[in-house]
Chains A and B, each alone.
Chain A
Amino acid sequence: MEPTAARAPRLGTLAAAFRAGLPVLLGYTTIGFAFGLVLTGAGLPWWLSPLMALFVYAGAAQFMGVGLLASGAGVLEIGVLTLLMNARHAVYGLSMLGRYEGAGAWKPYLVFGLTDETYGLLTTVEPPEGSDRIRFYGLVTALNQLWWLAGCTAGAGLGAALPFDTAGLDFALTALFTVLLVEQLRVVRRAEPYLVALASGALALLLADSRDFLLVSLLAAAAMLSALRGRLDTDGNGR
Protein backbone atom coordinates (compact mmCIF):
# COMPACT_ATOMS: atom_id res chain seq x y z
CA MET A 1 0.00 0.00 0.00
CA GLU A 2 2.80 2.34 -0.81
CA PRO A 3 0.86 4.92 -2.83
CA THR A 4 -1.52 5.46 0.10
CA ALA A 5 1.35 5.83 2.51
CA ALA A 6 3.03 8.33 0.22
CA ARG A 7 -0.14 10.34 -0.25
CA ALA A 8 -1.28 10.33 3.34
CA PRO A 9 0.80 13.28 4.58
CA ARG A 10 -0.23 15.46 1.64
CA LEU A 11 -3.92 14.69 2.12
CA GLY A 12 -3.39 15.04 5.85
CA THR A 13 -2.08 18.56 5.41
CA LEU A 14 -5.04 19.48 3.17
CA ALA A 15 -7.50 18.00 5.67
CA ALA A 16 -5.84 19.88 8.52
CA ALA A 17 -5.93 23.13 6.51
CA PHE A 18 -9.61 22.55 5.75
CA ARG A 19 -10.43 21.92 9.42
CA ALA A 20 -8.44 24.94 10.58
CA GLY A 21 -10.30 27.15 8.10
CA LEU A 22 -13.86 26.07 8.88
CA PRO A 23 -14.79 29.29 10.75
CA VAL A 24 -13.51 31.29 7.78
CA LEU A 25 -15.54 29.08 5.40
CA LEU A 26 -18.72 30.12 7.23
CA GLY A 27 -17.73 33.77 7.48
CA TYR A 28 -16.38 34.22 3.96
CA THR A 29 -19.22 32.47 2.12
CA THR A 30 -21.80 34.54 4.06
CA ILE A 31 -20.07 37.93 3.85
CA GLY A 32 -19.04 37.20 0.25
CA PHE A 33 -22.67 36.40 -0.54
CA ALA A 34 -23.78 39.67 1.03
CA PHE A 35 -21.08 41.45 -0.97
CA GLY A 36 -22.37 39.96 -4.24
CA LEU A 37 -25.92 41.08 -3.39
CA VAL A 38 -24.76 44.60 -2.50
CA LEU A 39 -22.72 44.83 -5.72
CA THR A 40 -25.60 43.87 -8.02
CA GLY A 41 -28.01 45.91 -5.86
CA ALA A 42 -25.84 48.97 -6.58
CA GLY A 43 -26.41 48.40 -10.29
CA LEU A 44 -22.95 47.02 -11.08
CA PRO A 45 -22.49 44.00 -13.41
CA TRP A 46 -22.34 40.62 -11.62
CA TRP A 47 -18.96 39.58 -13.08
CA LEU A 48 -17.26 42.39 -11.17
CA SER A 49 -17.83 40.36 -7.99
CA PRO A 50 -15.76 37.24 -8.86
CA LEU A 51 -13.21 39.50 -10.56
CA MET A 52 -12.68 41.44 -7.31
CA ALA A 53 -12.64 38.23 -5.26
CA LEU A 54 -9.86 36.86 -7.47
CA PHE A 55 -7.63 39.90 -7.85
CA VAL A 56 -8.38 42.34 -5.03
CA TYR A 57 -9.34 39.83 -2.33
CA ALA A 58 -9.95 42.34 0.48
CA GLY A 59 -13.44 42.34 1.95
CA ALA A 60 -13.65 45.78 3.51
CA ALA A 61 -11.98 47.47 0.52
CA GLN A 62 -14.31 45.64 -1.88
CA PHE A 63 -17.43 46.90 -0.04
CA MET A 64 -15.97 50.40 -0.02
CA GLY A 65 -15.04 50.15 -3.70
CA VAL A 66 -18.59 49.20 -4.65
CA GLY A 67 -19.96 52.20 -2.75
CA LEU A 68 -17.45 54.48 -4.47
CA LEU A 69 -18.05 53.05 -7.96
CA ALA A 70 -21.81 53.34 -7.53
CA SER A 71 -21.49 56.98 -6.42
CA GLY A 72 -19.36 57.77 -9.47
CA ALA A 73 -16.00 58.28 -7.72
CA GLY A 74 -12.86 58.48 -9.82
CA VAL A 75 -10.22 55.75 -10.07
CA LEU A 76 -7.61 57.91 -8.28
CA GLU A 77 -9.91 58.48 -5.30
CA ILE A 78 -10.67 54.75 -5.17
CA GLY A 79 -6.93 54.03 -5.15
CA VAL A 80 -6.17 56.45 -2.30
CA LEU A 81 -9.02 55.17 -0.15
CA THR A 82 -8.04 51.54 -0.81
CA LEU A 83 -4.55 52.44 0.38
CA LEU A 84 -5.89 53.96 3.61
CA MET A 85 -8.28 51.09 4.19
CA ASN A 86 -5.66 48.40 3.62
CA ALA A 87 -2.67 50.03 5.26
CA ARG A 88 -3.40 47.78 8.24
CA HIS A 89 -2.30 44.80 6.11
CA ALA A 90 1.25 46.13 6.18
CA VAL A 91 1.06 45.69 9.94
CA TYR A 92 0.12 42.04 9.51
CA GLY A 93 3.06 41.55 7.16
CA LEU A 94 5.45 42.94 9.79
CA SER A 95 4.46 40.23 12.23
CA MET A 96 4.52 37.48 9.55
CA LEU A 97 8.11 38.18 8.42
CA GLY A 98 9.47 35.32 10.50
CA ARG A 99 6.70 32.82 9.75
CA TYR A 100 6.99 33.28 6.00
CA GLU A 101 10.79 33.17 5.91
CA GLY A 102 12.04 30.66 3.33
CA ALA A 103 8.54 30.16 1.92
CA GLY A 104 9.95 29.77 -1.61
CA ALA A 105 7.41 29.40 -4.40
CA TRP A 106 4.45 29.84 -2.04
CA LYS A 107 5.64 33.22 -0.80
CA PRO A 108 4.13 35.57 -3.43
CA TYR A 109 0.74 33.94 -2.99
CA LEU A 110 1.01 33.91 0.83
CA VAL A 111 1.76 37.65 0.76
CA PHE A 112 -1.06 38.36 -1.74
CA GLY A 113 -3.58 36.41 0.35
CA LEU A 114 -2.80 37.95 3.75
CA THR A 115 -6.33 39.08 4.66
CA ASP A 116 -7.59 39.93 8.17
CA GLU A 117 -9.03 36.46 8.67
CA THR A 118 -6.09 34.57 7.13
CA TYR A 119 -3.72 36.53 9.36
CA GLY A 120 -5.87 35.80 12.39
CA LEU A 121 -5.99 32.11 11.53
CA LEU A 122 -2.30 31.63 10.76
CA THR A 123 -1.22 33.36 13.94
CA THR A 124 -3.42 31.11 16.09
CA VAL A 125 -3.34 27.59 14.52
CA GLU A 126 -0.36 25.26 14.45
CA PRO A 127 0.50 23.16 11.36
CA PRO A 128 -0.03 19.43 12.00
CA GLU A 129 2.92 17.42 13.32
CA GLY A 130 5.37 16.37 10.60
CA SER A 131 3.73 18.38 7.84
CA ASP A 132 5.31 21.00 5.61
CA ARG A 133 4.58 24.22 7.50
CA ILE A 134 4.65 26.48 4.41
CA ARG A 135 2.41 24.11 2.43
CA PHE A 136 -0.08 24.19 5.29
CA TYR A 137 -0.04 28.02 5.34
CA GLY A 138 -0.46 28.04 1.55
CA LEU A 139 -3.40 25.64 1.60
CA VAL A 140 -5.14 27.58 4.38
CA THR A 141 -4.70 30.80 2.36
CA ALA A 142 -5.92 29.20 -0.90
CA LEU A 143 -8.97 27.57 0.72
CA ASN A 144 -9.92 30.90 2.32
CA GLN A 145 -9.82 32.61 -1.06
CA LEU A 146 -11.84 29.77 -2.60
CA TRP A 147 -14.63 30.30 0.00
CA TRP A 148 -14.53 34.04 -0.60
CA LEU A 149 -14.73 33.55 -4.38
CA ALA A 150 -17.64 31.10 -3.99
CA GLY A 151 -19.59 33.51 -1.77
CA CYS A 152 -18.96 36.57 -3.97
CA THR A 153 -19.94 34.67 -7.14
CA ALA A 154 -23.08 33.08 -5.70
CA GLY A 155 -24.31 36.35 -4.17
CA ALA A 156 -23.79 38.29 -7.40
CA GLY A 157 -25.39 35.51 -9.45
CA LEU A 158 -28.48 35.47 -7.28
CA GLY A 159 -28.61 39.27 -7.10
CA ALA A 160 -28.44 39.48 -10.90
CA ALA A 161 -31.14 36.84 -11.36
CA LEU A 162 -33.61 38.13 -8.75
CA PRO A 163 -33.94 41.80 -7.91
CA PHE A 164 -33.58 42.13 -4.13
CA ASP A 165 -34.37 44.99 -1.78
CA THR A 166 -30.81 45.24 -0.48
CA ALA A 167 -31.21 48.59 1.30
CA GLY A 168 -29.14 48.44 4.46
CA LEU A 169 -27.25 45.26 3.53
CA ASP A 170 -24.09 47.32 3.09
CA PHE A 171 -24.26 47.82 6.87
CA ALA A 172 -22.38 44.49 6.95
CA LEU A 173 -19.23 46.57 6.40
CA THR A 174 -19.96 48.83 9.41
CA ALA A 175 -20.65 45.66 11.40
CA LEU A 176 -17.30 44.22 10.30
CA PHE A 177 -15.49 47.38 11.46
CA THR A 178 -17.40 47.21 14.75
CA VAL A 179 -16.30 43.61 15.28
CA LEU A 180 -12.68 44.47 14.50
CA LEU A 181 -12.90 47.41 16.92
CA VAL A 182 -14.26 45.17 19.69
CA GLU A 183 -11.36 42.77 19.03
CA GLN A 184 -8.92 45.71 19.35
CA LEU A 185 -10.58 46.80 22.60
CA ARG A 186 -9.87 43.35 24.03
CA VAL A 187 -6.19 43.43 23.07
CA VAL A 188 -5.17 47.09 23.40
CA ARG A 189 -6.41 48.03 26.83
CA ARG A 190 -5.25 51.62 26.91
CA ALA A 191 -7.42 54.68 26.53
CA GLU A 192 -4.96 56.78 24.52
CA PRO A 193 -5.38 55.20 21.03
CA TYR A 194 -9.16 55.55 21.22
CA LEU A 195 -8.94 59.12 22.50
CA VAL A 196 -6.54 59.88 19.64
CA ALA A 197 -9.13 58.46 17.21
CA LEU A 198 -11.93 60.55 18.74
CA ALA A 199 -9.84 63.73 18.72
CA SER A 200 -8.55 63.28 15.16
CA GLY A 201 -12.04 62.30 13.96
CA ALA A 202 -13.57 65.41 15.52
CA LEU A 203 -10.81 67.53 14.01
CA ALA A 204 -11.44 66.09 10.54
CA LEU A 205 -15.20 66.63 10.86
CA LEU A 206 -14.67 70.26 11.80
CA LEU A 207 -11.92 71.16 9.36
CA ALA A 208 -12.23 68.90 6.32
CA ASP A 209 -14.74 68.07 3.66
CA SER A 210 -16.70 64.92 4.53
CA ARG A 211 -15.15 62.93 1.68
CA ASP A 212 -11.64 63.64 2.93
CA PHE A 213 -12.53 62.46 6.43
CA LEU A 214 -10.37 59.31 6.50
CA LEU A 215 -7.31 60.92 4.95
CA VAL A 216 -7.34 63.98 7.23
CA SER A 217 -8.20 62.08 10.42
CA LEU A 218 -5.51 59.45 9.78
CA LEU A 219 -2.85 62.10 9.20
CA ALA A 220 -3.90 63.88 12.41
CA ALA A 221 -3.90 60.56 14.29
CA ALA A 222 -0.42 59.68 13.03
CA ALA A 223 0.88 63.05 14.25
CA MET A 224 -0.77 62.56 17.66
CA LEU A 225 0.56 59.00 17.99
CA SER A 226 4.08 60.20 17.19
CA ALA A 227 3.77 62.87 19.87
CA LEU A 228 2.52 60.31 22.41
CA ARG A 229 5.29 57.80 21.79
CA GLY A 230 7.25 58.68 24.91
CA ARG A 231 4.16 58.02 27.01
CA LEU A 232 2.80 54.92 25.22
CA ASP A 233 5.95 53.08 24.21
CA THR A 234 7.50 52.76 27.67
CA ASP A 235 5.03 50.39 29.30
CA GLY A 236 3.31 48.94 26.21
CA ASN A 237 0.48 46.51 26.80
CA GLY A 238 2.06 43.29 27.91
CA ARG A 239 4.26 42.82 24.87
Chain B
Amino acid sequence: MSRLLAAVAVMAAVTLATRAAPFLLFSRKRPPAFLDYLQRYVPPVVMSLLVLSSFKDLPFRQSPWGIPALAGAAATALLHLWKRNVLLSIAGGTAIHMVLLRLM
Protein backbone atom coordinates (compact mmCIF):
# COMPACT_ATOMS: atom_id res chain seq x y z
CA MET B 1 0.00 0.00 0.00
CA SER B 2 2.65 2.54 1.01
CA ARG B 3 4.78 1.31 -1.92
CA LEU B 4 1.86 2.02 -4.28
CA LEU B 5 1.33 5.49 -2.81
CA ALA B 6 5.06 6.25 -2.99
CA ALA B 7 5.12 5.12 -6.64
CA VAL B 8 2.15 7.37 -7.51
CA ALA B 9 3.77 10.32 -5.71
CA VAL B 10 7.08 9.82 -7.56
CA MET B 11 5.36 9.39 -10.93
CA ALA B 12 3.26 12.52 -10.31
CA ALA B 13 6.28 14.60 -9.29
CA VAL B 14 8.46 13.44 -12.20
CA THR B 15 5.68 13.93 -14.76
CA LEU B 16 4.96 17.44 -13.48
CA ALA B 17 8.69 18.22 -13.57
CA THR B 18 8.96 17.23 -17.24
CA ARG B 19 5.96 19.42 -18.09
CA ALA B 20 7.05 22.42 -15.99
CA ALA B 21 10.78 22.45 -16.85
CA PRO B 22 10.55 24.53 -20.07
CA PHE B 23 8.29 27.09 -18.38
CA LEU B 24 10.62 27.42 -15.40
CA LEU B 25 13.83 27.53 -17.45
CA PHE B 26 12.79 29.69 -20.39
CA SER B 27 10.19 32.12 -19.08
CA ARG B 28 12.53 35.05 -19.63
CA LYS B 29 15.07 33.98 -22.24
CA ARG B 30 14.71 32.19 -25.54
CA PRO B 31 15.64 28.51 -25.58
CA PRO B 32 19.11 27.93 -27.05
CA ALA B 33 19.28 26.83 -30.70
CA PHE B 34 20.52 23.37 -29.72
CA LEU B 35 17.30 22.69 -27.76
CA ASP B 36 15.31 23.88 -30.74
CA TYR B 37 17.17 21.32 -32.83
CA LEU B 38 16.63 18.55 -30.29
CA GLN B 39 12.90 19.24 -29.91
CA ARG B 40 12.51 18.60 -33.64
CA TYR B 41 14.33 15.28 -33.79
CA VAL B 42 13.96 13.76 -30.32
CA PRO B 43 10.23 12.85 -30.68
CA PRO B 44 10.71 10.57 -33.73
CA VAL B 45 13.70 8.90 -32.07
CA VAL B 46 11.89 8.40 -28.74
CA MET B 47 8.74 7.00 -30.38
CA SER B 48 10.82 4.56 -32.47
CA LEU B 49 12.69 3.42 -29.36
CA LEU B 50 9.47 3.00 -27.36
CA VAL B 51 8.04 0.78 -30.11
CA LEU B 52 11.32 -1.19 -30.25
CA SER B 53 11.32 -1.59 -26.48
CA SER B 54 7.78 -3.03 -26.59
CA PHE B 55 9.08 -5.77 -28.89
CA LYS B 56 12.48 -6.47 -27.42
CA ASP B 57 11.40 -9.17 -24.93
CA LEU B 58 9.04 -11.10 -27.22
CA PRO B 59 9.61 -14.87 -27.53
CA PHE B 60 10.56 -14.80 -31.23
CA ARG B 61 12.14 -18.27 -31.09
CA GLN B 62 9.10 -20.21 -29.92
CA SER B 63 5.41 -20.36 -30.77
CA PRO B 64 3.71 -17.97 -31.44
CA TRP B 65 7.00 -16.34 -32.55
CA GLY B 66 5.85 -12.84 -31.63
CA ILE B 67 3.28 -12.89 -34.40
CA PRO B 68 0.34 -11.56 -32.30
CA ALA B 69 2.38 -8.47 -31.38
CA LEU B 70 3.85 -7.88 -34.86
CA ALA B 71 0.46 -8.35 -36.53
CA GLY B 72 -1.21 -6.11 -33.96
CA ALA B 73 1.34 -3.34 -34.54
CA ALA B 74 1.07 -3.69 -38.34
CA ALA B 75 -2.74 -3.50 -38.10
CA THR B 76 -2.46 -0.42 -35.87
CA ALA B 77 -0.13 1.35 -38.31
CA LEU B 78 -2.22 0.47 -41.39
CA LEU B 79 -5.47 1.52 -39.71
CA HIS B 80 -3.84 4.77 -38.72
CA LEU B 81 -2.46 5.48 -42.20
CA TRP B 82 -5.90 4.71 -43.60
CA LYS B 83 -8.37 6.47 -41.26
CA ARG B 84 -6.11 8.55 -39.02
CA ASN B 85 -8.42 7.97 -36.10
CA VAL B 86 -6.31 7.37 -32.96
CA LEU B 87 -9.03 5.49 -31.13
CA LEU B 88 -9.86 3.21 -34.05
CA SER B 89 -6.17 2.44 -34.64
CA ILE B 90 -5.51 1.52 -31.00
CA ALA B 91 -8.74 -0.44 -30.48
CA GLY B 92 -8.40 -2.31 -33.80
CA GLY B 93 -4.73 -3.21 -33.31
CA THR B 94 -5.28 -4.29 -29.70
CA ALA B 95 -8.31 -6.41 -30.65
CA ILE B 96 -6.32 -8.23 -33.36
CA HIS B 97 -3.47 -8.78 -30.91
CA MET B 98 -5.79 -10.22 -28.23
CA VAL B 99 -7.59 -12.51 -30.69
CA LEU B 100 -4.31 -13.86 -32.16
CA LEU B 101 -2.91 -14.35 -28.66
CA ARG B 102 -5.81 -16.70 -27.90
CA LEU B 103 -5.89 -18.48 -31.27
CA MET B 104 -2.20 -19.17 -31.77
- Inter-chain contacts of B98 with A (CB < 8 A): 167-169, 171
Q: In the bound complex, do residue B101 and residue A55 qualify as a contact, i.e. CB atoms below 8 Å apart?
A: no
Besides A175-B94, A178-B76, A181-B50, 6 new A-B residue pairs in contact (Cβ under 8 A), listed by A number: A56-B8, A69-B4, A179-B86, A201-B53, A214-B50, A225-B42
A→B interface (CB under 8 Å)? 23, 26-27, 30-31, 34, 44-45, 48, 51-52, 55-58, 60-62, 65, 68-69, 75, 78-79, 82-83, 85-97, 100, 107, 111-112, 114, 117, 167-169, 171-185, 188, 192-194, 196-198, 200-201, 205, 210, 213-214, 217-218, 221-222, 225, 229, 232-233, 236-237, 239
Q: In the bound complex, do residue B7 and residue A175 qualify as a contact, i.e. CB atoms below 8 Å apart?
A: no
In the complex, the chain B residue whose C-beta lies closest to that of A44 is: B4
Q: In the bound complex, do residue B93 and residue A175 qualify as a contact, i.e. CB atoms below 8 Å apart?
A: yes
Interchain CA distance A52-B101 in the complex, whole Å: 28
Distance from A176 Cβ to chain B, minimum over Cβ atoms (Å):
6
Distance from B50 Cβ to chain A, minimum over Cβ atoms (Å):
4
In the complex, the chain A residue whose C-beta lies closest to that of B14 is: A82
Instruction: Select B37's contact among A31, A184, A205, A233, beta carbons within 8 Å.
Output: A233
Interchain CA distance A205-B58 in the complex, whole Å: 13
Distance from B67 Cβ to chain A, minimum over Cβ atoms (Å):
12
Instruction: Select B39's contact among A94, A175, A196, beta carbons within 8 Å.
Output: A94
Beyond A51-B8, A86-B14, A171-B98, is A179–B89 a contact (Cβ under 8 Å)?
A: yes
Q: In the bound complex, do residue B20 and residue A193 qualify as a contact, i.e. CB atoms below 8 Å apart?
A: no
- Inter-chain contacts of A171 with B (CB < 8 A): 69, 72, 93-94, 97-98
Q: In the bound complex, do residue B46 and residue A61 qualify as a contact, i.e. CB atoms below 8 Å apart?
A: no
B→A interface (CB under 8 Å)? 3-4, 6-12, 14-23, 26-27, 31, 33-57, 68-69, 72-73, 76-77, 80-81, 86-87, 89-91, 93-94, 97-98, 101-102
Instruction: Select A97's contact among B26, B41, B102, beta carbons within 8 Å.
Output: B26
Q: In the bound complex, do residue B80 and residue A225 qualify as a contact, i.e. CB atoms below 8 Å apart?
A: no
Q: In the bound complex, do residue B8 and residue A52 qualify as a contact, i.e. CB atoms below 8 Å apart?
A: yes
Interchain CA distance A168-B93 in the complex, whole Å: 11
Could you list some 6 contacts between A and B, CB below 8 A? A45-B4, A48-B8, A69-B4, A88-B42, A97-B27, A168-B98
Q: In the bound complex, do residue A197 and residue B52 qualify as a contact, i.e. CB atoms below 8 Å apart?
A: yes
What 5 A-B pairs have minimum CB-CB distances, sorted nearest first? A197-B48, A93-B22, A168-B98, A174-B54, A184-B44
Distance from A53 Cβ to chain B, minimum over Cβ atoms (Å):
10
Q: In the bound complex, do residue B38 and residue A95 qualify as a contact, i.e. CB atoms below 8 Å apart?
A: no
